[in-house]
Structure 1
Amino acid sequence: MAWATTPDHQPPPPDAPRPESRDRIYRSSAGIAGGVLLLAIMGWLGIDALVSGHGRTPWLALATMILLVPLVTAFTLRPAVYANEERLRIRNPFRVVVLPWTTIATLRSGYSNEAVTADGTRYQLWAIPVSLRSRKRAAKRQSRGATADSSGRVSPAAPARAQTDRAMDDLRELAEAHPHVEGTQDAVSVRWAYEVIGPAVAGAVVLAILLAVG
């Protein structure tokens, strides 16, 4: 069958670049919930101190909020991992790291989940924390799911995985589809999050001055 085309629907040329695939996004729901709760408490206490405080209290409250709000946001709401067919982007509290898949030697899970490059540099995945409690719950679900046949032989249930372990499994599949090649020219990109560091440092400086002045 011949391939028919029309002027307003042309197939892309063979050498046209592929459109970038959509990101898979991984974030910690517990971290987000905790961050929202902490920010709500800080906002309530801080605004109360600003409105009803006397003397230096409003200024101390303002400086404390300028210091703590960026830090709480950085460690709870900000962390995220974005993965697509080309690269892994890690948004940690104070850095954004972009790793092409060909630069990643392994994705390691221990007390934390990490991406390890060919030169041994490790980048922690803050958005995908290791939860020993979730692993224990998954193991209990698996043991309860085991069934016994008519002869009394116990058949093991399908392996149960914690949510963060499943996320790492997804990332490993992407990494295995794009293995590291010696001599690759792909580069790792690391950018500091000055939008977080700047306000936090400013708040710390103002708070230190206020405390020093007395």
Structure 2
Amino acid sequence: MTQEKKQLSEADIRAILRAADELIAVGGRRLLFLDIEYSGKLPMIVFTERGWEIERDQMVDELLQEWDDWLAAEKPVPDMHYLKDRNRGMILLLLDKIKESNNERYIPYLNEWEKIDYKKVRAAIRRTIQALESDEPVDLDAARERNTSIQQALRGFEPRDVWLKCWECGERFLFTVGEQQFYKQKGFVDPKRCPSCRAKRDDDIWIDD
């Protein structure tokens, strides 16, 4: 039975878009995990390089935990198509972590996965299977370097200039490191209007007075 989709009202659409703007302005810009890109005039929330490094590592750990849960429950090997067409970097990281685990119980999953994926991924899966079967020494240095990189990403980067979107005219404007430091010292929130709109607003206030 097909469920009928409810059409969002204009008010709901505007509320969703405003909430997304707030997420980008506060969560993305302040934490540097998210960024905004434009497809024409349509804004899209995307991961920054730092944000994706953290999220990719977390997603891989969740996938491995899922495999461990299935093995513990003695479930049959699932349909491995769910891993096809995933982000290539994430898939290669998953295979690296499988090799580092030195857990031969993953081999039946890898065998089924190898049957359905693309040539380059199949080759990487085959190398992982061979490493597990041969009890190849684990490269712990690579794992330590990766963990160090993740910890550095979680601590944050040096301050940088960022682009904000004006709530008045919709144009993007540069919010420099110096301005960020000034606003922080004064306890101000990040500006919601570009310099031109702020100046116009100040002029209007003086005219009203």
TM over 0.5: no
Q: With a CA cutoff of 8 Å and minimum separation of 6, indicate the structure with the bigger relative contact order.
A: 1
